[in-house]
Structure 1
Amino acid sequence: MSLSSSLQVGVSGLTTSQSALNTTAHNLANVGTKGYTRQQVVMSDFAYQKWGVNHISTLQTGLGVDIETVRQVRSMFYDKSYRTEAGRQGFYQTQYETVQEVESMFGETEGVAFQDSLNDLWTSLQELAKEPAAIEVRASLLEDAKSFLERADNISKQLSDYQVNLNQQILDKVNTVNDIANQINNLNKKISLYESNGKEHANDLRDERNNLLDELGGIVNISYKENSDGVVTVMAEDMPLVTETETYKMGVAKVNESSDLLKPVWTAFNRDVYRMDLPISTENNTDIGSLKGLLVSRGAAKANYTDMPVKPVKTASMSDTDYQAALNAYDDDVKEYNSTVNVSVIMTVQAQFDQLIHGIVTSINDVFSPNKEVTAGGKTFKVLDTDNAPYGMDKPNYTQGEALFNRKSVPRYRDPDMSDPAESLLPAGTKIYVEEDPDNIYSLFTLGEIEINSEISNNYSKLPLNSGKGTAGVDQKSADKLLALWKQPFAAISPNSLAVSTFKDYYTNFTGELANRGNELNNTSQNQATMVKNIDDQRQAIAGVSSDEELTNLIKYQHAYNASSRFITVIDQMMEHIVTRL
C-alpha cells in the first residue's frame, strides 16, 4: 500500500470517529427528551485492495473504515404492545371518568344526596298515614313530593346534558385523529425525500412520527407497516387512515335523524367507524381506544324504564304456548338490553333510575286513584275503580280519581268514545285510563314528563283519602296501602339480577352497583396503566439514552479519533522523511 493510500485510511478513521462523536453528543443532548430514540453508528470496512494470491487465500489490504448507517435502536414488538395496551387503558379510563361524573350527580359522597329526597317522601307518607285529615300533613306531603320530583328531574336532565356534551369530546378526538393522520402523511414525505439517496436516515423525523403513533394508539385501534421507502401506512379500526399517497378522514354524523348524539364515521367510505353490536372483549381487541370508550360509556340513545325487560307472569287465562312465546320474547329483550343498554354507563343509570321513579310514582298514584279492568263489547278496558277509590275532602264535590302525579301532556283518564261500539256500552261517567305507550314518550310516567297534579297542588283537600262523600271518615285502608308500598318487593336492579328489592333497597343496590362498576373500571384501568408503564420501561431500556453508556462511547470514539490522528501524523512524518532525503 502506498503512503498516500495510508493517509486515506487515516482520514476515513477521522471522519467516522467524528461522525460517531457527533451522534454520541446528539444522544447526550437528548437524555431527557420524551420520545427520543437512541441512535447508534454502525461501522463497516470501506474497501479492500487485492495485491496477490497465495495457496491459502487472497492477499489484500484494507482501505479504511466507513459508516454503514446511523440506526435507531428500537423494538418493534414493544412499540406495538405499548400502543395496543395504551389504547386499552384509554378505553377503560374514559368509562371510569364517566362513572365518577355520574356518581357526583346523585350527591351520595358529597353535596345534596338524592337519598334524602327519597327518605323525606317516605317520612311524609308515614305522617300522612297517622293523620290523613290534617291539612298541614297533606301540605308537607305535596312539598316533599315536589322536592323529590324536582331532584329526580334535575338528575335526569344532568344525565341527558352530560350525554350530549360528550359529543364535543368525541368531536375533539376525531379531529385529533385527523390531525395526527395529516402529520404522519407529511412526515412520510419528508422522510422519504431525506432518505432517497439510500445513505441518510431521518431519525429525528422518525422519532416525531413514532410519538404520533403512540398518541394515535391511545385513541383508536391501529395497525401499521413501513415500506422500503420509509413510508408508514396506518390502518385505524381495520380501515385505511394513512396510505402511501393520502389520508382518509374521519367525520361525525348523528346516530339517527331524531338524535342529538354523534358518532364517528368514515366520510370517504360512507360507513361507521365502529360496529357497536360486537361484544366488548380483550380477546377480540374490541376494547381499545379512548374514542370507543366514550361511545360505549355514553350509549346511542337516552334510556328510560321501558328499556328494562320485564319478565312475564303467567296468568290463569294464558296458555302454555302464549306464556312460552312471552318468555322467548323476554329472553330476546334481555339480550338486547345487555348489548345496548347494560354496556353503557349512562344508559344503564338512566334506565335503572327511571325505573325507580316510575315505580314510586305509579304505585302512589294507584293508591290514590286505583284502576280495575272491565269488559264491554268483547273488549277489555282499564277504568277508574270507583268502588275502591278514595274521595277528596273538597266540598261539595268530594273529587274522586285525582292522582298525586300527572303526565304533562296526557291526562290520566279520558271519557268513552261514543263512536266506538264497545266504549258506548260502558256505564255513564266511566273514566277510561290512558295506557302508557312505549312508542309515545308523552304517554309515559318517565322523568321529564311527570308533574305534580295541579288540582291537588292548588287545593290540598282534593288529595283523595276519604272513604266516602260528605261526613264519611278517613280511608285508613288507602293510608295503610301507602305505607305498605315501601315494604313490598318492587323490582330487580336489572334483568341479570334475581334479587327483587323494595324501593329503598333498590336505590341502595342501584348506587352500590354504580360504585362497583366504577371500581371495576378503575381497577382495570390501573392494571392497564401498570402494564403500559412496564412495557414502556422495557421499551426505554432499549431505545432510551443512558448517559453512562454514551459517556463511555464518547471516550471510546475520542480515543479512536486521536488514534487516527496519530496514524496520519506518522504517515506524514514518513513522507516528509522520504521527501527530504531525496
Structure 2
Amino acid sequence: MSLMSGLYVGVSGLRSSQNSLNTTAHNLANAETKGYVRQQIVQADSPYLNWGINHISTFQTGLGTNIAAVRQVRDIFLDKAYRTESGRQGYYEVQYEAVQEIESLFGEMEGVPFQDTLEKFWISLQELSKEPDSIVKRTSIIQTAVSFIEHAENISKQLNQYQVNLNTQIINQVNRINQIAAEISDLNKTIRHYESNGMENANDYRDRRNLLLDELGKIARITYRENMDGVVTVNLEGVQLVTEENTYKMGLEKISPSSDMLKPVWESTGDDVYDLRKITTGGKETDIGSLKGLLIARGDKPAKYTDIPNPNNTDPAYNYQGRLDYYNNQVEPYVIMTVQAQFDQLIHGIVTTMNDILSPNKEITVTAATTFNFADGTSLSVPAGGKIKILDVENAPVGMDKDQTMGEALFNRKSMVRYKEIDENDLGIDLDGDGILGKVRIYMEEDETDNYSLFTLGEIEVNPNILNNYSLIPLSVNGGTEEYDIKIAEKLVEAWQKPFATLSPNTLTKNNFNGYYTAFMGNIATRGEQYYTMSLNQKSMVASIESQREQSIGVSTDEELTNLIKYQHAYNASARYITVIDNMLEHIITRM
C-alpha cells in the first residue's frame, strides 16, 4: 500500500468519525422530542484496490472505512402491536366516558338523583291511599307527578342532546383522519425524493410519518405496507386511504334525511365506513378505534320503549323473534340507545299503569267491519272480529267534583286525547252491550308508527284538567254516593310493588318500578365497569409495549455520551494516523 493510499485511509476515518459524531449529537439534541427514533451509524469497508493475483488469491489494498447507512433502530412488530392495542384502548375509553356522562345525567353520583324523585312519587301514593279524599294528599300526588315527569323529560332531553353532541367528536376525528392521510402522502413524496439517490435515509421525516401512523391507529383500524421506494400505503377499515399517488377522503352524511346524527362515508364511493347494522364486539379486530367506539356509544337514532320487544304481545303480526333480533343487534350494543329504551320503558310502565287504574278500559270485539267517524273529523276502521277498547263505565272511579267526572287519567299524551266519543245511535250498534244505545268513549290505542300516539318521553304530560282542578282525580266510588274508593287507592300502591317488566328481553327477572330502576342503574354501572376494566387493561398493555419500543427507539443520553467519547477518540486516532503518514512523506521527500 502506498503512502498516498494511507492518507486516504486516514481521511476516511476522519469522515466516518465526524459523521458518527454528528449523528450522536443529533440523537442527544432530540432525546426529548416526541416520536424521535434513535439513529445509528452503520460502518463498512470502502472498496478495495486489486494490485495483483496468484493461483491462490487476489492481492488487495484497503481504502479505509465508509458510512454504509444511518439507520433507525425500531421494531416493526412492536409498532404494529402498539397501534392495534392503542386502537382498542381508544375504543373502550370513549365508551367508558359515555357511561360516565350518562351516570351524571341521572344524578346518582352527584346532583339530584332520579331515585329520589321516584321515591317521592311512591311515598305520595302511599300517603294518598291512607286519605284518598284529602285535598292535601291529592295536591301532593299531583305535585310529585309533575316533578316526576319534568325530571324524566329533562334526563331524556339531555340524553338525546348528548347523543347528537357526539357528532362533534365524530366530525373532529373524521377531519383528523383526512389531515393525517394528507400529511402521510406529503411525507411519502418527500421521503421518496430524498432517498431516490440511494445515499441517505430521510429518518426525521420517517419519524414524523410513524408518529402519524401511531395517532391514526388509535382512531381506527389500519393496515399499512412500505414499498421499495420508502412509500407507505395505508388501508383504513379494509379500504384504501393512502396509496402511492393518492389519498381517499372520508366524509360525513346524515344517517337519514330526518336524522340529526352523522355517519362517516367514503367520498369517492359514498359507501359507509362502518355498517352500523353489523357492528359487534368481542370478535377478531372488531373493537379497534375511538371513532368506532364513538359510533357504538352513540347509536344511529334515539331509542324508546317500543324498541324493546314485548313477550306478552300475542298479535301474530308482531313478530317477536324478529324484534328480538333487532334489539340484540341494533339497540343493545349501543350504550346510549340501550339506556334510552330501558328508561323509556320504566316511564311508560309507570304512566300507563297509573292511568289504567284511574281510567280503566274494557276490550270488546267488533262483529262486523265498522268505521267510527269522530266529531274532530278523524275516523277509525276496525275489521270484522277486530278488537277495540272503551272506557269501562261500570268499574271506573269518578272525581269528587259535582259532575262526578270519570275517565280522567293522571297522565296525558300531549298531542292525542285518551278517548274519542262515538254515539251508538249513529252506528245502530250496542258496542258496550249494556242494552242501551248511547255515547261510548273509545280508547285511542298507542301506535308505534305514530310517535304522537305513544306514552313516550317527550310526549307525556300531567293531565291539564286535573292540574286545574284536583277534585277531578277519579278516586271516588262510581254510584253517586260521593264516597272515596279505597280500593282504587290501594290498587295504585299494589301496582307500584307488582313486577311489571324485565330490564331487557334477555333477562328473566321481572321487577317492580323501584326494583327496575335499581337494576337499570346497576346495569349501567356494570357496563361502565366493564369498559373501565378493558380500557385500564389496554392502557397497561399499551404502556408495556411502549416501554419495549422505547428500549429500542428511545435515546439513552448515557449511551450516546459514551458513543460521543468513542467517536472522538476514533477521530483523534485517524488524525494522528494522518500525522504519522504526513511525517513519513515529509521525511522521504526531504531526504531525496
Query: What's the secondary structure of 2:438's corresponding residue?
Result: coil
Alignment of 1:428-439 (within 5 A): 428-439=438-449
**1:417–1:424 contact (8 Å) kept in structure 2:** no
Is 1:236 aligned with 2:236? yes
1:357 lines up with 2:347 in the alignment: yes
**Aligned-partner Cα distance in 2 for 1:536–1:277:** 35
Superposition pairs for residues 116-515 of structure 1, below 5 Å?
A: 116-312=116-312, 329-376=319-366, 377=368, 378=384, 379-395=386-402, 397-416=403-422, 427-515=437-525
Deviates most, 274-283 or 379-388: 274-283
Instruction: Flag structure 2 segments of 5+ consecutive residues without an equivalent.
Output: 369-383
AA matched with 1:551: L
Q: Is the 8 A contact 2:276 2:300 kept in 1?
A: no
Judge conservation of contact 1:398–1:469 (CA < 8 Å) in 2: no
One-letter amino acid of the structure 1 residue matched with residue 509 of structure 2 = A
Q: 1:417, 1:423 within 8 Å by CA — same for their partners in 2?
A: no
Q: Is the 8 A contact 1:489 1:501 kept in 2?
A: yes
Alpha-carbon distance change, 279 to 250 in structure 1, aligned in 2, over 3 angstroms: closer
What is the SS of the residue equivalent to 2:422? coil
CA–CA distance in 2 between the matches of 1:405 and 1:493? 23
3-state SS of 2:440 partner? coil
Q: Which residue of 2 aligns with 1:49?
A: 49
User: What is the CA distance between 1:29 and its match in structure 2?
Assistant: 1.4
Deviation string 1:74-124 (CA, Å, 9 cap, x unpaired) is: 111010110011011000000000000000000011110101110111111
Q: Note closer, same or farther for the CA distance 1:550–1:417 as it changes in structure 2 (3 Å cut).
A: farther
> How big is each residue's C-alpha offset from its partner over 1:306-336, in whole Å with a ceiling of 9 and x where there is no partner?
001111367xxx9xxx6xx97xx32322221
| SS in structure 2 at match of 1:415 | strand
Sequence identity, in percent?
Answer: 58
Read off the aligned partner of 2:398 and give its amino acid letter: Y
CA offsets 1:503-548 (integer angstroms, 9 cap, x no match): 0000000001100100000000000000011111111111111122
Q: Is the partner of 1:486 in helix, strand or coil?
A: helix
Whichever residue aligns with residue 324 of structure 2, its letter is V
Indicate conservation of the 8 Å contact 1:389/1:400, yes or no. yes
TM-superposed CA distance for 1:61, in Å, is 1.1
Asked if the contact 1:309/1:330 (under 8 Å) is kept, the reply is: yes
Letter in 2 for 1:401: G
Pairwise CA distance, 1:288: 0.6
2:563 corresponds to which letter in structure 1? N
C-alpha contact 2:249 2:268 (8 A) present in aligned 1? yes
Residue by residue over 1:365-395, the C-alpha shift from the partner in whole angstroms, topping out at 9 and shown as x without a partner, is 0010000011233432111011110001111
Give the superposition deviation at 1:51: 1.8
5+ residue gaps, structure 1, are none
Q: How many angstroms apart in 1 are the aligned matches of 2:100 and 2:429? A: 52
* 2:453 aligned partner, one-letter code: S
Report the alpha carbon displacement of residue 352 of structure 1 after superposing the two structures with TM.
Answer: 0.3
> CA-to-partner distance for each residue in 1:524-575, whole Å, 9 max, x for gaps?
0000000011111111111111122212211221111111111110110011
8 Å contact kept, 1:309–1:337: yes
* Contact 1:265-1:272 within 8 A present in 2 as well: yes
Q: Give me the whole-angstrom Cα distance separating, in 1, the residues matched to 2:444 and 2:274.
A: 41
Name the CA distance, whole Å, in 2 between partners of 1:537 and 1:10: 41
Say yes or no: does 1:556 pair with 2:556: no
CA displacement 1:151-183 (0-9 Å, x = unmatched): 000000000000011111100110111111111
Superposition RMSD in Å? 1.7
- State the match for 1:541 in structure 2: 551
Q: Does the residue aligned with 1:383 lie in a helix, a strand or coil?
A: strand
SS at match of 1:293: helix
Q: TM-score, normalised by structure 2?
A: 0.94
State the Cα distance separating 1:282 from its structure 2 match.
Answer: 4.5
Change over 3 Å in CA distance of 1:421–1:41 after alignment to 2: farther
Q: How far does residue 54 in structure 1 lie from its aligned partner after superposition?
A: 3.5
Kindly indicate whether the alpha-carbon contact (under 8 Å) linking 1:307 and 1:337 is maintained by their aligned counterparts in 2.
yes
Structure 1 residue matching 2:497: 3-state secondary structure:
coil
In the alignment, what sits opposite 2:375?
none
1:235 offset after TM fit, Å? 0.7
Instruction: Indicate whether 1:571 and 2:578 are aligned.
Output: no
Question: What SS does structure 1 have at the residue aligned with 2:439?
Answer: coil
Conserved in 1, the CA contact under 8 Å of 2:252 and 2:265?
A: yes
Contact 2:423 2:438 in 1 (8 A): no
User: Match of 2:49, SS?
Assistant: strand
Q: Could you tell me how far apart the structure 2 residues matched to 1:251 and 1:420 are?
A: 60
> In structure 2, how many angstroms separate the alpha carbons of the residues matched to 1:466 and 1:401?
12
Determine helix, strand or coil for the equivalent of 2:265.
strand
- Structure 1 residues 287-315: Cα deviation after superposition (integer angstroms, max 9, x where no partner): 1100110000000000000001111367x
